Chains A and B, each alone.
Chain A
Amino acid sequence: MADVTVPAWVVARSFLWLSLTTYGGAQSAAIRREVVRRRGWLSEDEFLELRAIAMVAPGPNSPNLAILVGQHLAGTSGAALAFLAATVPGIAIVLAFALLSLDPRLGGASAALRGCAAAAVGLTFAGAVETTAMRRLGAMQLAIVVASAAAVIFLHWVLWLTLLVFVPISIALAKPAPRESAGA
Chain B
Amino acid sequence: MVVWQLAAVFGLLSLLSFGGGNAIVPQMYADAVVAHHWVNATEFARFFALGRLAPGPTMNMSALIGYATAGFAGAVVASAALFVPAGLVVYALGRMWRKLHGNAWRDRIASGFAPVVAGLIWAGIPPVAGGAISLQAPGTIAIAVAAAVIMLTTKVNQALVVLGAGVLGFVLFR
Contact = CB atoms under 8 A, between A and B. Distances in A.
A76 to B, nearest CB: 8
Which of B25, B53, B125 is most buried by chain A, counting CB atoms within 10 A of its CB? Answer: B53
Tell me the interface secondary structure of chain A in the complex: helix
B63 to A, nearest CB: 5
Interface residues of A, number: 96
Interface string B27-67: 10010000000000010011111111111111111011001
Interface residues of B, number: 106
Given A68-B90, A118-B165, A144 B125 contact: no
Given A153-B126, A160-B16, A131 B121 contact: yes
Interface string B112-146: 11111111111111101101110000011101111
5 contacts: A60-B57, A63-B57, A115-B170, A166-B116, A175-B108
Interface of B: 12-27, 30, 42, 45-61, 63-64, 67, 75, 79, 83, 85-87, 89-91, 93-95, 97, 104, 106, 108-126, 128-129, 131-133, 139-141, 143-152, 157-159, 161-170, 172-174
Interface of A: 19-27, 49-50, 52-64, 67-68, 71-72, 76, 79, 83, 86-87, 89-91, 93-95, 97-98, 101, 107-108, 111-132, 135, 137, 141-142, 144-149, 151-153, 156, 158-160, 162-163, 166-168, 170-177
